[in-house]
Amino acid sequence: MVHWTSSFKTMKFIKLILTAFLLVTAGCASGSKEDTVIMNENGINTVKMDDREMGWFRFGNENGPKVIILPGLSLKSVMGSKDAVIAGYSLLAADYDVYLFDRVRVMPETYDIEAMADDTLRAVKAIGLENVNVMGVSQGAMIGLMMELKDPDAVNSLMLCSASSRIHDRSALETWKKLAEERNLPALMESFGEYVYTPSFFEQYKDLILASGNGATEQNYKNFITAVEGTLAFDCYDRLKDIHCPSLVIGASEDRVLGVQASYDLAQELHSEIFIYEGYGHGVYDEAPDYLTHIKQFLDKVN
């Protein structure tokens, strides 16, 4: 469920520096006049929505079709990995205008997937995007499904990576929730690696995976626990018949987090294209060298 958005060979963490802000007020398409888009000089921008803030950044071809990336569940924000994301997604950047949206920075105590989708839709509209292609990874795919169900006109296509419409096996998520509640960072990060990646990949990048949790704050833990609870409660299976946009499902035969059957179920109900990697786990999006090739081929067909 955790999503490292590019190869660990290129992973670099950048430090956020306080800089001057350019404030641009933008009314959300839902009618809100309180949403404010804050453009930061370091490229990590913010949408302020009432009492919530959501980070985002942009890269690629400004004249291309719009693609938004919704990462999976993680202990810390992916905003600090902006440079690595851009490097890792260079295949899309030549032809597509790409945006990555984070979760809200401070989650309410109860925050389900539908609420996450509401906030993401609101942020997307606040910066003037419409008819977007949504690439959702794991929990991000769940959010993407709900975005399409709630506002079909906002979504042109769905790319559902290591995804599920409901939780069949709760063991990984409940293990992570327990370790986060105990604030047991070493065990939590090790459990991530073991559940998400193949043994050979985890062994090769173990030090980086474990270190990626360093510096986790109390708010990080609170957000993570809330997000896990929202994921455990998610179930939109019976509503999949109402999704009609083009879709691509990519799964993995050895997915120990959501299971490969979840990918088959999605593809069957959505009548979508499907590609299953053999011998890979949940984190196939980080491991398979040709992963983005499938994404780009799909995007080229539907845009």
3-class SS of residue 155: strand
* Residue matched to tokens 């509640």: 181
Instruction: State residue 34's pLDDT score.
Output: 73
Instruction: State residue 21's pLDDT score.
Output: 32
Residue range 33-80, pLDDT digits in tens: 579 999 998 999 999 999 999 999 999 999 999 999 999 999 999 999
Instruction: State residue 283's pLDDT score.
Output: 98
Q: What is the DSSP letter of 226?
A: H
- Which pLDDT band, with edges at 50, 70 and 90, does 169 fall under? very high
Q: How many other β-carbons are positioned within 10 Å of the β-carbon of residue 257?
A: 25
3-class SS of residue 184: coil
Q: Is the pLDDT of residue 193 over 60?
A: yes
Q: How far is CA 187 from CA 184, 191, 296, in A?
A: 6, 6, 36
- Which pLDDT band, with edges at 50, 70 and 90, does 29 fall under? very low
Q: How many other β-carbons are positioned within 10 Å of the β-carbon of residue 138?
A: 28
- Which pLDDT band, with edges at 50, 70 and 90, does 16 fall under? very low
Residue range 232-247, pLDDT digits in tens: 999 999 999 999 999 9
CATH architecture of the domain formed by 55-302? 3-Layer(aba) Sandwich (3.40)
Domain limits of the chain? 55-302
pTM of full prediction above 0.85:
yes
Q: Is the pLDDT of residue 27 over 60?
A: no
Spatial contact of 251 and 276, defined as CB atoms under 8 Å apart: yes
- The pLDDT of 113-136, averaged and rounded, is 98
**Identity (one letter) of the amino acid at 45?**
N
